[in-house]
Amino acid sequence: MVSFLLMRKIFQLFLILLLGFGIVRAGVLRASDSVILSRLSLYLISPCVIINAFQVEFTAGVRQGLVLALVVSAAIYVLFLVLGAVLRRGLHMDAVEEASVIYPNAANLIIPLVSGVLGPEWVIYTSAFISVQLCCLWSHGRRLFTADEPFELKKVVLNVNMLSIAAGALLLVLGVRLPAVLRETVTAVGDMIGPVSMLITGMLAAQMHPRRILANRRIWLVLSLRMLLCPALVLILLRIFQPGARVPDGNTVLLVTFLATATPAANTVTQFAQLYGHDAEYAGAINILSTLLCLATMPLFVWLYGL
C-alpha cells in the first residue's frame, strides 16, 4: 500500500515537471527564466519549509525520534561524503556528477511524499535529514561548485537556510509556536517547494537534446550510483545495525530517513550549476532521468525495507 501511494505521489510531481516543459516549448517562458525560480526556491521557499517542519509539539516521543533520525542522518552523510570522494578519484567525476550522487532530492521531494504517504505528523522527522543535508550542501556542496573561490565560513554559517535551521530548532526546544497567521503563511510558501522544483527541472528539460543526453554513458553511471548503490548501502547498514529497534516507532521514523536517501538527484544541484556557471543542462538531465527512475526504484526499496 505504501509503495503504491508513493508511486502515485511521485507521478503527480512528474506531471508538474511536464507542465514546466510545456510552458517553455509553448514559448510562454524561456528555459533561462528558471534561474529566478531557483533563487526563490533556495532563498525563500526552502527556509519556510525548514521553519515549518519544526513547528510541532516537542514531546518525549518526538524528541527520541528526532535524535534517532539526526544521528542516523549524520552517519549516512559521512558514508555518502566518503563514497563521493572515492568515486571522484576513481571515476574522475566532475562537480555535477559527484554532487548528484551524494545529494538526494530530500528537501524538495521527501516532504510532499511523506506528508502524502505517511501523514503530516511524520514530516517533522524529515527535518533531521534535511538539516544535515543543508549543512553539507552549503559547505561541501557549494564548495564543489566554487572551488576557485576562497572558502568563507561566515557565508556558510550566515546562509539563510542555515539560519532557518538554527531558528527552527530553537523554537522547537523552547516550545514557541508562530502566530496562526504567520504559521499559515510559512506553510503556504513551504508547500510550493515540490511543484516549483519540478517546474524548474521541466523548464530546463525543454532546452535539452535527448539523443545527446541518452548517448552519454556517464549519465547512466551516475544514475546507477544515485538510485541503486546509495539506497542499497543504507538499507544494508540499517538491516545490520537496526538502530530503530529501541525507539518507539523507530522503524517508521527511519523509513522517513531511508526514503530521503532513495530520492532522485537533488534539484539544488541543478540550481547550483545554474548559479555558479556549471553544466546546468547535464545536471537537469540527471535530475529528470533519476525522477523517472524513482517511479520504480523508490517503491521497490520501500518494499524491501518492509520485509
Euclidean distance between CA atoms 292 and 290, whole angstroms: 5
Interhelix angle 217-224/95-102, nearest 10 degrees: 30
pLDDT attached to residue 1? 63
Question: Cβ distance 171 to 178 under 8 Å?
Answer: yes
Mean pLDDT of 196-205: 85
Backbone angles phi, psi at 32, to 5 degrees: -65, -20
Angle between the N-to-C axes of helices 60-91 and 126-136, in degrees from 0 to 180, rounded to the nearest 10: 40
Residue 72 scores a pLDDT above 90? yes
pLDDT (0 to 100) of residue 151: 64
Q: Identify the helix (H) or strand (E) that includes residue 80.
A: helix 60-91
Whether 253 has a pLDDT exceeding 90, the answer reads yes
Q: Is the pLDDT of residue 40 over 70?
A: yes
Classify residue 56 by its DSSP letter.
S
Selecting from 1.20.120, 1.10.10, 2.40.50, 1.20.1530, what CATH number does the domain 2-24+33-306 have?
1.20.1530
* Poorest-pLDDT segment among 97-106, 150-159, 240-249, 253-262: 150-159
Q: Which residues contact 239 (CB under 8 A, 6 or more apart)?
A: none
Q: Give the residue, 150 or 85, on which the prediction is more confident.
A: 85
What's the one-letter identity of residue 55?
Answer: Q
Confidence at 270, pLDDT banded by 50, 70, 90: confident
pLDDT of 3 > 80? The answer is no
* Contact partners, residue 201, CB within 8 Å, separation at least 6: 17, 20, 267, 270, 284, 287, 288, 291
Binned at pLDDT 50, 70 and 90, residue 46 comes out as confident
> Does position 152 have pLDDT exceeding 70, yes or no?
no
Cβ contacts of residue 167 below 8 Å, gap of 6+? 51
Under a CB-based contact definition with an 8 Å cutoff, are residues 258 and 289 in contact?
no
Looking at residue 242, what is its pLDDT? Answer: 92
pLDDT value, residue 139 = 83
219's grid cell: 549519465
Q: What is the mean pLDDT of residues 37-63?
A: 85
The three cell numbers locating residue 239 = 538491516
Section 16-24 average pLDDT: 93
Domain boundaries, the chain: 2-24+33-306
Compute the distance between CA of residue 21 and CA of residue 208 in angstroms, rounded to an integer. 10
Q: What is the CA radius of gyration of the chain?
A: 18
Q: Indicate the range of 2-6, 37-41, 285-289, 299-303 predicted with least confidence.
A: 2-6
Residue range 139-143: mean pLDDT, rounded: 87
pLDDT in tens, 126-136: 888 988 998 88
The residue that leads in pLDDT, 278 or 3, is 278
Task: List the grid coordinates of 66.
Answer: 528526532
pLDDT over threshold 80, residue 157: no
pLDDT for residue 246 is more than 90: no
In whole angstroms, give the CA distance from residue 292 to residue 11: 9
256 vs 7, more confident: 256
- Percentage of the residues of the chain whose pLDDT score is greater than 90: 42
- Distance, in Å, from the CA atom of 192 to the CA atom of 199, rounded to the nearest integer, reads 10
CA-angle at 220, arms to 218 and 224, nearest 5°: 120
Q: Is the pLDDT of residue 291 over 80?
A: yes
What is the DSSP code string of 110-161?
IHHHHHHHT-GGGGGGHHHHHHHHHHHIIIIIHHHH-TTSPP-HHHHHTSHH
DSSP-assigned letters across all residues of 273-303: HHHTTS-HHHHHHHHHHHHHHHHHHHHHHHH
3-class DSSP state of 7: helix
Residue type, 285: A
Q: Compute CA distances 63 → 10, 26, 59, 124, whole Å.
A: 29, 49, 6, 10
Q: What is the DSSP letter of 35?
A: H
